[in-house]
Structure 1
Amino acid sequence: MSQKAINITGWVLTIILGLLFAMSASMKLTQNASALQQAGAMGFSPETYLAIGIVEILSLILFIIPRTAIIGALLLVAYMGGAIATHVQHQLPAAMPVAIEALLWITIAIRFPRVRQQLLLQSK
């Protein structure tokens, strides 16, 4: 696969993830009634849910900006780890957050060659 195709794939996946995280964050930031009800069932107050939305959108912004993308990627990985743990703790289906986490790691491996090299233990 050419470097151009790799770059395009990385950015397409970034856009897909960006849309997913933006939708999720917007539900938290706008205090959507159904989202608040779901959050309340998991023990989150509206204020806590708003703070989670702020962290999510800031992490996403860092992930999209090339210069800060690796920091944003690490924050989103940690965020999704928390989402998976919350789903497991409350005995909710965890397939969706696990799939998003996997897609995030695939995107990271494509966008950041040095990370890919470290993950796959490849030499330069």
Structure 2
Amino acid sequence: MTTIDTSAALSPPRNWTVRLGWGLSGLFILFMIFDGGIKLVPIDPVIQTMTELGYPVQYARLLGVLSLVATLLYAIPRTSVLGAVLLTAYLGGAVSTHLRIGSPLFSHTLFGVYMGLFAWGGLWLRNPRLRAIFPVLR
């Protein structure tokens, strides 16, 4: 049985690490607030996109509420990991949808993957417990 040395991961993080983590998380949160907000008040681009993706337009508000709730959970430090998991599921659905309709791979289909890496990267930099679970270096 092996043990993981968590002393380095749980030591106080460097100041720049936490700042960079909150910076990445802040940008992600702002993007998700914008994305969820425009779905609450379906404007023409949202209506067109929902139609192109093959979803009824009335689902836009539901998707907006789901993304905003998950983003709120991600923004609160105590619930940030739960929010990140929910947002990963949400973004996975976006990847699946774009894959289903044959969207361009690197610009549309994988955009949800890029955003997920951005969200988890920011959370990893600002959360020492997460760094203990997923250490980059041993």
Category of TM-score, reference length = shorter chain:
0.7 to 0.9
Question: In proportion to residue count, which structure has more helix?
Answer: 1
1:1-124 map, 5 Å: 3-93=14-104, 94-120=109-135
Please identify runs of 4+ aligned residues in structure 1 that moved more than 4 A. Answer: none
Unpaired segments of 5 or more residues in structure 1?
none
Distance 1:60 1:31 in 2: 19
Please tell me the residue identity of whatever aligns with 1:27. I
TM-score norm. by structure 2 comes to 0.79
CA root-mean-square deviation: 1.8
Q: Distance in 1 between matches of 2:49 and 2:103?
A: 11
State the identity %. Answer: 26
Report the structure number with the largest CA radius of gyration. Answer: 2
Q: Which runs of 5+ in 2 are unaligned?
A: 1-12
Residue 17 of structure 1 aligns to a residue whose secondary structure is helix
Q: In the comparison of the two structures, how many residue pairs are matched?
A: 122
Asked which structure has the greater RCO (Cα within 8 Å, sep 6+), the reply is 2
